[in-house]
Amino acid sequence: MTLKLKKLQNFNGRSGPLLLVIMDGVGIGKKYDGNAVYKANTPVLDKLFNSQIYTQLKAHGPAVGLPSDDDMGNSEVGHNAIGAGRVFAQGAKLVNKSIESGEIFKSDIWKNVTERGKQHSTVHFIGLLSDGNVHSHIDQLFALINQCQKEAVSKLRLHVLLDGRDVPGKSALKYLKQTEDLLAGINSNPNFDYRIASGGGRMKVTMDRYNADWNIVKKGWDAHVLGIGRKFHSAVQAVETFYGEDENIIDQYLDSFVIVDNSEKPIGTIEDGDSVVFFNFRGDRAIELSRAFEEKEFKFFDRVRVPNVFYAGMMQYDGDLLIPKNYLVFPPSIDKTISEYLCNEKVPSFAVSETQKYGHVTYFWNGNRSGYIDSSLETYIEIPSDRIEFDKAPKMKAYEITEKTIELIKSGKYRFGRINYPNGDMVGHTGNFDAAVISVESVDECVGKLLKVIDEVKGIAIITADHGNSDEMYTEKDGIKTPKTAHTLNPVPFVIYDPLYNNEYQLAAVNNPGLSNIAATILNLLGFEKVKDYDDSLIKFT
């Protein structure tokens, strides 16, 4: 089917391009001392947020396809919703439905996983151990474990990645206790041997993304597969030791560890004949380990040995590259993205971000699709991210993104562009308030530079965000402040900067506006009618 757009009768857009600026992690929260967005010096954003065409959008829960309003949004589902123009059931919701219906356990993939366990090999689960519901959920893991017990899988090993990012910074012991209690109950039957075998903090072990630092994946491979890492007799002992050695450390930065028996031998290396499931449902931080298990020609680090295992993901993390080949739950099928429509209308566009969010303005924006939709019309620019903790350089690559964007705008080749400033999210995740303030101020300055160019070329800019983060850097109870590293449930800003604005349009009365309303708005500002299937535009023409 050929996707077609109809032109508006009363508005043709501006002579200059339309630029969408996504300030990742910059939400609109309560005004308190822990809100880095509020405390930052942001003259540009202050002016924008008081302009005529300004509103706030929902960026979490059902507004982005997640189960409930208690579920924080994230960059992946946010960019899916913006690029698709409507809401699709997303990761956690899909997995929950599959588990509740039992469909997940009826597939040939699941049968292959458990069959090896029934034949005296080991079933391994690797993933993020928390209830953050962004990459994984502990309840989903427990459902898989309980099903293994039900199907008489005798030996199971867990390789737990500790969160402290989508949940409180020092919450690992809570989740480990819940897990150990479950395993102890199963192990009370002598026919079962279910134990935690290795682990580490998510930002240090296994969960790298976008090829930013393969050494993180190597540390995970060494611990999970080879049994190489700092030795402990339990995961709880490992965490308590790390806490004792550095009272300021939080879970996401804990080093790798390996659980050993009384003879100091690792209890859960991954061997030939085993099966391995990565139980994260979100793709970005699961792709690289999946490649390490599946690729024959692998160049990123020395794997030492590659066990012959049956490997599966909770979902397929990249549908175009087929990573992994085997998966338990089908991802949402997202079609008719705004970029597909624009390419069919021969509208030239560009996308720019640094490594940490490059996949968001490309892969996730395009409905979980790798590569170009039409390389003759699109230009994608990735600016390499620094390989350091982001609070150490909170400006990140904001200025480089800005310079490249200005170059592309001034080239006169493009009608539409989209960029992502990762600062508010990536620095917000560190829990470092002062660094988060600097990150937001950097974005503010860069947005100001872009708006001057929009003035010059007589274009339009949309400034928004995909979810909050830096808007809530700590919580306080009984006078005790606890750093908050997770995304927030706060709304995000949406503002249209149009230097030639002459009351041709105004904000529409949209019920519960969210990120999915942005696509139709983009089409309107480019001079096209809203697509029938898309959620309503945020503007109406007068």
Predicted local distance difference test score (pLDDT) of residue 363: 92
Predicted local distance difference test score (pLDDT) of residue 207: 97
Nearest to 145 by CA among 157, 163, 127: 157
Q: What is the CATH number of the domain that holds 198?
A: 3.40.1450.10
Asked whether residue 1 carries a pLDDT value surpassing 70, the answer given is no
Predicted local distance difference test score (pLDDT) of residue 283: 85
Could you give the CA distance from residue 525 to residue 505 in angstroms, rounded to a whole number? 10
Could you give the CA distance from residue 486 to residue 175 in angstroms, rounded to a whole number? 16
CA distances from 469 to 58, 66, 429, 448, 503 (A): 14, 18, 7, 21, 33
Tell me, yes or no, whether 317 and 337 share the same domain. no
Predicted local distance difference test score (pLDDT) of residue 120: 86
Predicted local distance difference test score (pLDDT) of residue 284: 85
Tell me, yes or no, whether 113 and 175 share the same domain. yes
With contact defined as beta carbons under 8 Å apart, do 157 and 224 qualify?
no
Predicted local distance difference test score (pLDDT) of residue 441: 98
* Better pLDDT: 92 or 533: 533
Residue 5 lies in a domain: no
Contacts of 211 (CB under 8 A, 6+ apart): 288, 300, 355
- 75 catalytic, yes or no? yes
Q: Which backbone phi and psi does 111 adopt, to 5 degrees?
A: -60, -40
With contact defined as beta carbons under 8 Å apart, do 542 and 507 qualify?
no
Residue 528: strand pairing partners? 7
Indicate which residue of 15, 75, 101, 385 is catalytic.
75
Residue 78 lies in a domain: yes
Could you give the CA distance from residue 333 to residue 368 in angstroms, rounded to a whole number? 8
Tell me, yes or no, whether 310 and 370 share the same domain. no
108-134 confidence digits (pLDDT tens): 999 999 999 888 899 999 999 999 998
Give the pair of three-digit tokens for residue 222.
């060494």
CA distances from 188 to 123, 179, 191, 193 (A): 19, 14, 9, 9
Predicted local distance difference test score (pLDDT) of residue 173: 98
What's the mean per-residue pLDDT of the chain? Answer: 96
Tell me, yes or no, whether 325 and 342 share the same domain. no
Nearest to 402 by CA among 366, 354, 455, 450: 450
Residue 3 lies in a domain: no
Tell me, yes or no, whether 367 and 500 share the same domain. yes
What is the average per-residue pLDDT within 213-223?
97
399-449 confidence digits (pLDDT tens): 999 999 999 999 999 999 999 999 999 999 999 999 999 999 999 999 999
Residue 240 lies in a domain: yes
What is the average per-residue pLDDT within 8-16?
96
Predicted local distance difference test score (pLDDT) of residue 320: 58
- pTM of the predicted model as reported, rounded to 2 decimal places: 0.80
Could you give the CA distance from residue 128 to residue 252 in angstroms, rounded to a whole number? 10
What is the average per-residue pLDDT within 199-222?
95
Mutual angle of helices 91-101 and 138-150, in 10-degree steps? 30
Tell me, yes or no, whether 100 and 76 share the same domain. no
Could you give the CA distance from residue 330 to residue 210 in angstroms, rounded to a whole number? 22
Number of separate domains in the chain: 2
288, 314, 329 - which closes a domain = 329
Residue 535 lies in a domain: yes
The residue segments making up the domain with residue 100 are 92-329
329, 345, 361 - which closes a domain = 329
Could you give the CA distance from residue 323 to residue 500 in angstroms, rounded to a whole number? 46
Sign of CA dihedral 148, 149, 151, 157: positive
Predicted local distance difference test score (pLDDT) of residue 321: 79
293, 308, 329 - which closes a domain = 329
Q: What is the CATH number of the domain that holds 63?
A: 3.40.720.10
Quickly state the pLDDT bin for 477 (edges 50, 70, 90): confident
Predicted local distance difference test score (pLDDT) of residue 66: 86
What is the average per-residue pLDDT within 325-342?
92
What is the average per-residue pLDDT within 10-15?
96
**Cα dihedral 358, 362, 363, 368 in deg (nearest 10):** 140
Tell me, yes or no, whether 320 and 186 share the same domain. yes
Residues constituting the chain = 542
Tell me, yes or no, whether 187 and 83 share the same domain. no
Asked whether residue 319 carries a pLDDT value surpassing 70, the answer given is no
Residue 11 lies in a domain: no
Residue 46 lies in a domain: yes
Tell me, yes or no, whether 99 and 70 share the same domain. no
Tell me, yes or no, whether 204 and 293 share the same domain. yes
Tell me, yes or no, whether 84 and 96 share the same domain. no
72-89 confidence digits (pLDDT tens): 899 989 999 999 999 998
Give the pair of three-digit tokens for residue 276.
């391995």
Residue 8 lies in a domain: no
Give the pair of three-digit tokens for residue 275.
């099966």
Predicted local distance difference test score (pLDDT) of residue 383: 98
Asked whether residue 141 carries a pLDDT value surpassing 90, the answer given is yes
Tell me, yes or no, whether 144 and 245 share the same domain. yes
Nearest to 95 by CA among 159, 139, 157, 54: 139
